[in-house]
Amino acid sequence: MYLVTGANGFLGRHLTAGLLAAHIDFVGAIRVLPDDFDRDSNLVAVDRIDENTNWSQILLDIDVVIHLAARTCVVRGSDAAALRDVRCVNVEGTLNLARQAAAAGVRRFVFVSSIKVNGENTNGRPPFTEYDAPNPLDAYGISKLEAEIGLRELATSTGLEVVIIRPPLVYGAGVRANFLSLLKLADSRIPLPFSLVSNVRSMIYVENLVDFIILCCTHPKATSQTFLVADQKSLSLAELMTLIRTSMGRKTQLWPLPSFLFRLFGVILGKSKIVDRLVGNLEVDSSYAMKLLNWSPPFSVEQGIKVTVDAFIQGDRR
């Protein structure tokens, strides 16, 4: 039996669907049960994940924990205040769950971390790998690194098998946040100034990530490993917008604007971080995970974008 935290989030919904399709029994932990909750379902309510959460009843008969739940929205204020806010869930909550899991006899703990542990970009350097020294630059990335360190220490002291996965941006049907904004921008009839943006950014289609997570739950060579995973092909912003608009049946309509002008406008408007995510590089090397576990993404980036766009047209476009 598996326990999936954050089961009703974007990744959680796709993962639980994947577990059902694979006929793997699981319990899904969410914050609030839906109004139409079926008592015979496999969902349980966990009001808050922190150092005081009692997991004892939920962990009965659990063999593998897949920990997705995380605090991503950071409070406004000082960097110190933001870090305190995310540590409560991402560090203390994670390690509390892992300690109780080890005590309950759970075999393996799969922790979905973030590429932010490696850093914010690969501008002027090779792609990120598992061998790079961590360089998180914001509260979320720092909290994920601290959780990773604590989990490795716990694995050494208890024998709990720990697997850490650091994905880059995850996209797929029902995606929210920045990728949804890109879809809405691509869906407009406005010509976009991206044809000269030749950056390189790695992403991962959610069904590829689900496939990898499920593999990590059982593969003997995954134990004590940290993995960076992404789609097999990275894209520039120009390539991504072309692919999205083509999938929408629209004309590409991209015109040239040099990247340095994007960065200049970002500085002027106080949006440098947003601009760097658009035109900067963030490339991930997945070769270690692919070779060690004999894994390759089952879906191409073209297939992933097509499914994502189709879901957007059927739902969020309205």
CATH number of the domain at 113, please: 3.40.50.720
Give me the phi and psi of 36, to 5 degrees please.
-95, 30
Q: What is the mean predicted confidence (pLDDT) over 30-38?
A: 72
Instruction: Identify the pLDDT of residue 33.
Output: 76
Q: Would residue 227 count as lying in a domain? A: no
Q: What is the DSSP letter of 220?
A: G
Percent of the chain with pLDDT over 70: 95
Q: What domain range includes position 111?
A: 2-166
Count of domains for the chain: 1
Instruction: Identify the pLDDT of residue 114.
Output: 98
Instruction: Identify the pLDDT of residue 35.
Output: 64
Confidence of residue 258 (pLDDT cuts 50, 70, 90): confident
CA distance 307 to 305: 6
Q: What is the mean predicted confidence (pLDDT) over 199-226?
A: 98
Residues 158-199 pLDDT 10s: 999 999 999 999 999 999 988 999 999 999 989 999 998 899
| pTM, full prediction | 0.94
Q: Would residue 291 count as lying in a domain? A: no
Active site residues: 140
Q: Would residue 154 count as lying in a domain? A: yes
Where are the strands (E) in 155-208, listed by range? 161-166, 169-171, 203-205
